[in-house]
């Protein structure tokens, strides 16, 4: 009897934890489709070394916790003609949070420039495997897989 109860408790713990696990999805691919060709002040992303930005992606949740950062593998001089460009974060995100995709231009001597910031609501992926997020006319398509 005691063994059976222990077994039942174990089953409950397993069910509960597997249910918690299903609240996560995997960010498989982020395809940047377009970004502003120039800065808000009308100048090029870079003054030296060509006008195009050196792009990397940071994904963080609304508490500021970073789940992905590709700065060390930035894409040098990415022009709009090179788009779409794919990032493969392979990062888990939770249905219970909101996330931000921030595309930056890496700069050596000044603070990196924010190019595009997209808000992602994971629960919008219920029943679909990809979705387009946009800021104005600039978009990225996000592909998810089950976790």
Q: How far apart are CA 40 and CA 36, in angstroms?
A: 8
Should residue 29 be labelled a site residue for Ca ion when binding is judged by CB under 5 A? no
Nearer to Ca ion, 82 or 124 (CB): 82
Q: How far apart are CA 48 and CA 17, in angstroms?
A: 52
Should residue 105 be labelled a site residue for Ca ion when binding is judged by CB under 5 A? yes
Q: At its nearest, how many Å lie between Ca ion and the CB of residue 42?
A: 14
Q: What part of residues 37-76 is at the interface with Ca ion (CB under 5 A)? A: 45-46, 54
Q: Are strands 66-69 and 55-61 parallel, antiparallel or unpaired?
A: antiparallel
Q: How far apart are CA 45 and CA 37, in angstroms?
A: 8
Among 113, 131, 134, 141, binds Ca ion (CB under 5 A): 113
Residues that bind Ca ion (CB under 5 A): 45-46, 54, 105, 107, 113
């Amino acid at each position: 009897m005691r063994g059976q109860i222990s077994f039942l408790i174990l089953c409950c713990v397993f069910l509960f934890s597997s249910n918690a696990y299903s609240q996560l999805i995997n960010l498989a691919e982020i395809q940047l489709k377009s970004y502003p060709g120039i800065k808000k002040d009308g100048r090029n992303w870079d003054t030296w070394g060509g006008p195009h930005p050196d792009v990397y992606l940071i994904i963080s949740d609304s508490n500021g916790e970073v789940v992905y950062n590709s700065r060390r593998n930035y894409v040098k001089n990415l022009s709009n003609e090179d788009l779409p460009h794919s990032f493969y974060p392979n990062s888990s995100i939770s249905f219970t949070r909101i996330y931000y995709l921030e595309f930056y231009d890496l700069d050596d001597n000044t603070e990196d420039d924010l190019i595009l910031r997209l808000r992602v609501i994971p629960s919008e992926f219920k029943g679909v495997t990809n979705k387009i997020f946009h800021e104005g006319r600039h978009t990225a398509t996000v592909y998810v897989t089950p976790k």
